[in-house]
Structure 1
């Protein structure tokens, strides 16, 4: 179980993205994006209604602290592929309620949204950092607190454990895990480069990597997650999404050139002309 927590400025932008996905060029493509995300609200806390109604409610309470620049608390939990369908909606909501109590926003407005648009299940929490009393939820040390909370939930719900963030480990633990990560990184790089050489599209590459046990995240960039849930960005491997795309395009171009050359070679008369040239060369 991997947890992330950030703060932001705009409730509308955050919620629209979670419901509708990235902005598309047409209504038809936007509808496809929404269907792909499969967003579903499974829990409301001190707010309720349609997306626009919830946004209005959040903004109204946020005005109780107009000086706060980042009133949006956006957290997410990603579950391992092995844990797919292990938790019910109620259990997911219970995890978020426990988190809200741990981070001190259980009396504030928040909603819980599930997504099923990737290989691993994940949930999002959008909360108002401003409470009805005008006080603000602190985001101090949230990274470490989130890591500790995830470890507790893994034990409570018997979820696949994930290594603690490296910055909170002892020097000895960092050294051991660092060696493991380096080995995983090199193995992944080798498999990725082999897959790139055998693929002609990003989708084909994705399928090849998934067959080898890696989850592939595609968005503005590309990332790979191994069976131990260790995640590497493509750029960490020396192969960003732009770099991979350029290689695939180049490979397709070379393949097309070879195909055309082969077609010309097999045209009627070509073989005979070459044979006559060789015969003539020997007779001189």
Structure 2
């Protein structure tokens, strides 16, 4: 079980992402993204309604502490592949409630949303850090607390154990984790090099990578998320979006040059055959 936690500024933006997924280039692609996400709200706490109604309620309570720059707390839990279908919907809700008690936002507004777009089941919790009393949920040491919470939930629900976040491990364990991450990077790089060599456009590269199990997000840059929910920027493996496009352009140019060369060779061969036949006819 892997837990992540972050804070942000915009409730509506976070809600849009949780319901619709990453912003796509067209309405058709956005609908496909939503279909993949299969977002479902499984729990409301002190708020309720449509996405817009919930956003309005969160913003209204946020107004009780207008000086707070980051009122959004977003937590997510990803479960190991081996734990697929192990937890019921209610148990997922129970984990979210347990976290709310552990982190002190059980009396605040929050919603719990499930996604089904990866091989790993995962849930998201969107929290209003501002309570009805105007006080703010403390987010100090949140990463370390999240790591410990995940270990506790693994024991409680007999889930596949996952090593704690790298920064909280002993030096020997950090080295072991580092080697695994490097292996993932090398595999990603090898797969990406193959995908680029087999493609003519960036969209084809995206399709090739998705066929190999990577989720690809294209924006100002390019990112790849593997089946273990580990995410890398293209630049981390030596292939930024600009690098990939430059390589594709070079490949197209080389392919065009080879095509032209082949055409010249065919024309030359054809010409030589015709010339040979005429010379032979005159000698007879």
- What TM-score does the superposition give when structure 1 sets the normalisation length? 0.80
Number of matched pairs: 273
Listed as ranges, the matches of 1:1-284 within 5 Å are 1-23=1-23, 30-200=30-200, 201-207=204-210, 209-210=212-213, 215-220=214-219, 221-225=222-226, 231-259=231-259, 261-262=261-262, 265-266=265-266, 270-275=268-273
Q: CA deviation at 1:88?
A: 2.5
Distance 1:126 1:97 in 2: 12
CA contact (8 A) 2:192 2:209 kept: no
Give the secondary structure class of the aligned counterpart of 2:212: helix
1:195/1:208 contact within 8 Å kept: no
Gaps of 5+ in 1: none
**CA 1:31/1:104 → structure 2, altered by over 3 Å: closer, same or farther?**
same
Query: 1:7, 1:71 within 8 Å by CA — same for their partners in 2?
Result: yes
**1:50-78 deviations in Å (ceiling 9; x for gaps):** 11221222122222222222111111222
> Shift of residue 237 of structure 1?
1.4
Cα pair 2:120 2:227 within 8 Å, conserved: no
Q: 1:246 to 1:2 in 2, by over 3 A?
A: farther
User: How far apart are residue 104 of structure 1 and its match?
Assistant: 0.7
> What do residues 20-78 of structure 1 show as CA deviations (whole Å, max 9, x unaligned)?
34455665555444334322111101111111221222122222222222111111222
Query: In the aligned structure 2, how far is the partner of 1:207 from the partner of 1:79?
Result: 21
Q: CA deviation at 1:82?
A: 4.0
Tell me the SS of whatever aligns to 2:99: helix
**Uncovered stretches (5+) of structure 2, i.e. residues with no partner:** 279-284
User: Structure 1 stretch 137-146 or stretch 89-98: which is displaced more?
Assistant: 89-98
Contact 1:224/1:234 (<8 A) preserved? no
Say whether the 8 Å CA contact 2:233–2:240 is kept in structure 1.
yes
